[in-house]
Amino acid sequence: MSTLARAMAESVPDARGRYGSYGGRYVPETLVAPLEELEHVWIEASADSGFQSELAVLLRDFAGRPTPLQFASRLSLHLGGPRIYLKREDLLHTGAHKINNCLGQGLLALRMGKRRVIAETGAGQHGVATAAVAARLGLACTVYMGTEDMERQRLNVFRMRLLGAEVIGVDAGSRTLKDAINEAMRDWVTNVRTSHYLLGSALGAHPYPQIVRDFQKVIGEEARQQILQKESRLPDHLFACVGGGSNAIGLFHAFLQDSSVKMVGVEAGGRGKTLGEHAARLAAARGFTGACPGVLQGAYTYVLQTADGQIASTHSVSAGLDYPAVGPEHAWLAEVGRAEYTAVADEEAIEAAKTLARIEGIIPALESAHAVAELIRRAPRMSPEEIVILNLSGRGDKDMETLARYA
């Protein structure tokens, strides 16, 4: 596996934005040239020390990096299994890992001379992070959000507006993240000469999955250094939730070449295993049905869909995981067996959030609680010598109403 892992880390995506057969650039012609421009600007910026240091300062002083890698001693004891470390992305400004990518893409927008950013949001975390970064960098900001998500994440709608963003409700389709992305793309295709689409996950057309991953890989790079300092060795397991998959790929990426490190991505199992009841794209082995490779919103990847190729509706208690496609790099990691993907149900995630709150004094975002739930499931079968890093990608303040309903 290590040869494969090394090959993967070095060669994906290829020049056409392919992770194995996944990824690519399936967009209407109008958007191809803007994506080529973005790719070009990104390659330049990656090699520009001025850009990198400007980003590093913002990540440190505005966002609060590095985030701690906290030994969760009481949870470790409680579960009676491995030594558990939490990567505390929830402590970042605006409450989730999303700000890492927003700062990077915000600077790219400035570099392209675009004074307006467009974003979609599901749980509202990416919208809030985009709104904050836009305010900080002096950019105009429009956020699209499904009306169902606006209902369940009202607090974040208020936050975005307070930060000066225009929040536009999307009433089409399932009124969730997927529909917000459609509307954001319609805005972008209309205003592409003046606006940057600040896509929030490792999704969509090339180069977005790569750009978002590269802005999020700081999570894993820090965690790798931190665990080597604390334990003098690499972890045995990584856990992260997977909606589009940006926090997971952010954690995984720095460990891809370390073949001893096992990776688990946790999707939303929702309230059942039949199509429409869940948002598990890569967990077919667990009995979740309805996902197969297809094209949605720019990329070829695993998509929950009908036999006729219509995109299915999804369900999850967590708006941030409630999406029918998965980032193409995860589809590739699943196919080659480098990472394992599973799913947990709504109730298990809620219970896990409560457990973490009571035992560690941390209320996780319901998205991150899915990863916690899978860890709770597996920990009793692990040995005390094993080391786990779990990406606590966001905090749960936004989920109080949902949590209260399940109390």
Contacts with another protein by CB under 8 A lie at 16, 24-34, 36, 172-173, 178-179, 181-182, 185-186, 189-193, 292, 294-298, 303, 305, 307-311
Rounded to a whole number of angstroms, the minimum distance from the CB of residue 310 to another protein is 4
Which residue shows structure tokens 């196919």?
A: 335
Query: What does each C-alpha distance from 26 to 191, 203, 204, 246, 351 come to in angstroms?
Result: 19, 12, 9, 20, 39
Nearest to 258 by CA among 241, 238, 242: 238
N- to C-terminal Cα distance for the chain? 44
d(CA 160, CA 222): 29
3-state DSSP assignment of residue 145:
strand
Q: Which is nearer to another protein, 66 or 294 (CB)?
A: 294
Q: Which is nearer to another protein, 26 or 71 (CB)?
A: 26
Rounded to a whole number of angstroms, the minimum distance from the CB of residue 390 to another protein is 33
3-state DSSP assignment of residue 343:
strand
Q: Which is nearer to another protein, 28 or 337 (CB)?
A: 28
Q: How is residue 329 written in tokens? A: 């790099």
Q: Give the residue numbers annotated as catalytic, written as ranges.
A: 98, 120, 393
d(CA 41, CA 34): 10
d(CA 206, CA 18): 8
d(CA 226, CA 386): 16
Rounded to a whole number of angstroms, the minimum distance from the CB of residue 271 to another protein is 21
Q: Which is nearer to another protein, 73 or 190 (CB)?
A: 190
Q: Which is nearer to another protein, 55 or 311 (CB)?
A: 311
Q: How is residue 156 written in tokens? A: 């974040």
Q: Note the residue count of the chain.
A: 407
Torsion of CA 371, 126, 333, 331, to 10 degrees: 110
3-state DSSP assignment of residue 266:
strand
Q: Which is nearer to another protein, 185 or 345 (CB)?
A: 185
d(CA 379, CA 375): 6
What DSSP string describes 58-82? IIIIII-PSPPEEE-HHHHHHHTSS
